[in-house]
Amino acid sequence: MISGKTIHLIDWLRRDGVSDWLPWAAVPVLLAIGLLPGVLGSFMLVVYAALAILVTYLFVVKQYAWLAMLFIAAGLFIDFFILVQMPFFVPDLVTILALIFLIACFWAQSAARPWIRVPHLVWWYPIWSGGLPPAIRGGLALNGGKYYVEVYLDALLVYMVGVQVARDLSALRQLLSLLAGFGALIALHSILQAETRHLFLPTHYWDTYLASVNDFALAGSKEIRAGSFFINPDSDGSFLALMLFIPLSLLFETPSRLLKALYAVETVLITLGLFFTYSLIAMAAAGLGGILFIALVGRGRLRFYILGVAGVLLVVIFAAFPSLLHLLLSHGSNAASEITLRVGAWETGIRVILAYPLTGLGFGFHAYLDGAAALRVPLQYRALAHPHDSFLEFAALAGIPMLLLMLIIFGKSYWQAFQNYRGAGKSQRILIGGGISALAVLTLNSLASNSWTLPPLLLVGWLLFGALSSPRLLPPLRSRLHLEHRPSAEEQKVDEAVLPGGVQA
User: Residue by residue, what is the 3-state secondary structure of 232-295?
Assistant: CHHHHHHHHHHHHHHHHHHHHHCCCHHHHHHHHHHHHHHHHHHHHHCCHHHHHHHHHHHHHHHH
Query: Which of 99-113, 240-254, 455-469, 486-500 is predicted least confidently?
Result: 486-500
2 located within any domain: no
pLDDT at 27: 52
> For position 67, what pLDDT does the model report?
93
Q: Are residues 169 and 317 in the same domain?
A: yes
Residue 181 lies in a domain: yes
- In this predicted structure, the answer to whether residue 459 has a pLDDT above a threshold of 60 is yes
Q: What confidence tens digit (pLDDT) does each residue in 313-337 have? A: 888 888 888 888 888 888 887 778 8
180 shares its domain with 329:
yes
Condensed to tens digits (0 to 9), the pLDDT of residues 164-219 reads 999 989 999 999 999 999 999 999 999 999 888 887 776 667 778 888 888 888 87
Identify the domain boundary among 76, 92, 115: 115
Secondary structure percentages of the chain, helix, strand, coil, to 5? 75, 0, 25
Q: How many structural domains is the chain composed of?
A: 2
Q: Give residue 400's pLDDT.
A: 96
Residue pLDDT, tens place only, 22-58: 444 455 555 555 555 544 455 556 666 677 778 888 8
Segment 478-495 shows an average pLDDT of 44
Question: Is residue 187, in this structure, part of any structural domain at all?
Answer: yes
Does residue 286 sit in the same domain as residue 152? yes
Dihedral sign, Cα of residue 259, residue 263, residue 265, residue 266 = positive
Q: Is the pLDDT of residue 101 over 50?
A: yes
Tell whether 143 and 90 lie within a shared domain: no
| 364 vs 460, residue with greater confidence | 460
For residue 462, give the nearest of 413, 498, 418 by alpha carbon.
413
The torsion of the CA quartet 475, 481, 483, 489, rounded to 10 degrees, works out to -150
Q: State the pLDDT at residue 243.
A: 96
pLDDT, the chain, mean: 83
pLDDT, residue 499, reads 38
Query: In the prediction, which pLDDT does 47 show?
Result: 63
Nearest Cα residue to 309 out of 259, 275, 273, 260: 260
Could you tell me how many helices (H) and strands (E) the chain has, helices first?
Answer: 23, 0
Q: Is residue 231 part of a domain?
A: yes
| Lowest model confidence (mean pLDDT) among 109-113, 269-273, 297-301, 422-426 | 297-301
**Same domain, yes or no: 155 and 201:** yes
Cα separation, 171 vs 222, in Å, equals 45
Residues 154 and 14 both lie in one domain: no
Residue at 297 is within a domain? yes
Q: Is the Cβ–Cβ distance between 457 and 241 less than 8 Å?
A: no
pLDDT score recorded for residue 200: 76
> Do residues 141 and 68 both lie within one domain?
no
Distance, in Å, from the CA atom of 155 to the CA atom of 466, rounded to the nearest integer, reads 10
What value does the mean pLDDT take over residues 400-421?
Answer: 95
Percent of the chain with pLDDT over 70: 82
Q: Which of these ranges, 116-130, 292-306, 381-395, has the smallest mean pLDDT?
A: 292-306
- pLDDT for the residue numbered 42: 53
Domain-located, residue 444: yes
The model's confidence at residue 298, banded by pLDDT at 50, 70 and 90, is confident
pLDDT at 76: 92
Selection from 442, 356, 366 nearest residue 392 by Cα: 356
Mean pLDDT of 290-316: 83
- Three-state DSSP class for residue 74: helix
Residue at 4 is within a domain: no
In-domain check, residue 124: no
CA distances to 36, 93, 96, 98, 108 from 22, in Å: 22, 21, 17, 16, 6
pLDDT band of residue 436 (cuts 50, 70, 90) is very high
Q: Are 83 and 154 in a shared domain?
A: no
Residues 41 and 148 reside in one and the same domain: no
**What are the pLDDT digits (tens) for 107-163?**
888 888 899 999 999 999 999 889 999 999 988 877 888 999 999 999 999 999 999
Residue at which a domain ends, from 115, 146, 169: 115
| Co-location of 277 and 330 in the same domain | yes
Q: Compute the distance between CA of residue 344 and CA of residue 133 in angstroms, rounded to an integer.
A: 28
Q: Which domain holds residue 412?
A: 130-474
How many whole angstroms separate alpha carbon 318 and alpha carbon 271?
A: 11
Q: Report the chain's terminal Cα–Cα distance, integer Å.
A: 37
pLDDT above 90 (res 474): no
pLDDT band at 479 (very low <50, low <70, confident <90, very high): very low
pLDDT of residue 33: 52
Q: CA–CA separation, 79 vs 147, rounded Å?
A: 12
Give the model's pLDDT for residue 39: 47
Bridge partners of residue 217, in order along the sequence: 224
Distance CA 275, CA 325 (A): 9
Cβ count within 10 A of residue 292:
18
**Residue 258, pLDDT score:** 92
What radius of gyration, in Å, describes the C-alpha atoms of the chain?
Answer: 25
Residues 34 and 139 in one domain: no
